[in-house]
Amino acid sequence: MNTTPINGTLDVVGIGNAIVDVLSFADDALIQSHGLTKGSMTLVDEARSEALYKQMGPTTACSGGSVANTLAGMASLGARTAFIGKVRNDQLGAIFKHDMHAVGVNFPTTMMERGPATANCLVYVTPDAQRTMATYIGACSRVSETDIEPDLIERSAITYIEGYLWDTETAKAAIRKAITVARNAQKKIAFTLSDTFCVDRHRDEFLSLISYNDIDILFANEAELKSLYQTDDIELALQKAKGVCPIIAVTRSEKGSTVLTSDLTEHVSTAPVSKVVDTTGAGDLYASGFLYGLTRGWDLASCAKLGNRCAGEIITQIGARSLKPLNTLVA
């Protein structure tokens, strides 16, 4: 349950996995030797996570998690945000809580005193800037309905939920409660497909969420959208998605992004980046810019342009938390 009151209205409250990212540079051979799938996420248990960590090279640790990254980006842009997620009262849990507060994101959820350790994600960054992840869910799996504070949802313009969280019945119940509260308060709900791994596991449920008016804004990248509709043709996937929910924003790497509504298909280009260092968090930061614009009443093309700028900025550095204020990107 929440212990710290948050006064006033919020732009976005996010519900997601509270994870500490541990990043290290690696080559393809190392990833292959560990049996990981390059460019994707693999779930591991605590023992394997510890074994993999011991074999990593020099590391950089910072708070992560898809929705948490998005909220941190929004806070850097100047938005008011709050996060709901579970950590244990341990070393990584303390790091996560400190980092969220330090970037200006309200994180009032009580830390667990017992149970699984705080989640971590081992991120292997290869020379081509692709990231391969081995994730230990840990305390994240304990998110439940009791963590959803109706008042927090009701005071937020948008409730943002990550597909990564859709793995346990308790988390699903928490998400459904949040959706119901937001709907009753006539507030918007955003959802990210998160990863092809998630889509493959939960395709039918995700399609139901999107199709039955539970979601107002859907975020996906090309691979996730193609996986959702089980096609290798991105144009066909875009055609199938069009009109399924009010707004769909699809990130397309160096091609920028495409925004879909029932009567609009808007391709928004992005400026080239001089050097791509690490693609970790590109989609998360795109959502930061997009949601920031949306909560300020911008047209969808302008939302996508800021999303592209934020994504372009984050891939020039290591990690998914910007090292400099993002409000300089707001035109």
Judge whether 134 lies within some domain: no
User: Which of these, 114, 116, 104, lies nearest to 18 by C-alpha position?
Assistant: 116
Domains in the chain: how many in total?
1
Judge whether 153 lies within some domain: yes
Judge whether 59 lies within some domain: no
Share of the chain above pLDDT 70, in %: 97
Judge whether 60 lies within some domain: no
Judge whether 285 lies within some domain: yes
Judge whether 29 lies within some domain: no
Question: For 82, how many CA atoms within 13 A lie in the half-sphere containing its CB?
Answer: 25
Judge whether 263 lies within some domain: yes
Q: What is the reported pLDDT for 7?
A: 56
CATH number at residue 73: 3.40.1190.20
Q: Which domain holds residue 236?
A: 10-17+65-90+140-329
Separation between Cα atoms, residue 281 and residue 182, nearest integer Å: 26
Report which secondary-structure segment, H or E, holds 82.
strand 81-84
Judge whether 190 lies within some domain: yes
Read off the pTM.
0.89
* Higher pLDDT, residue 60 or 262: 262
Q: Is the dihedral of CA 29, 32, 34, 38 positive or negative?
A: positive
pLDDT in tens, 186-234: 999 999 999 998 999 999 999 999 987 899 999 999 999 999 999 999 9
- Mapped onto helix, strand or coil, the DSSP state of residue 6 is coil
Hey, which residues does 63 pair with through a beta bridge? 20
- E strands in 202-276: 217-221, 247-251, 257-261, 264-268
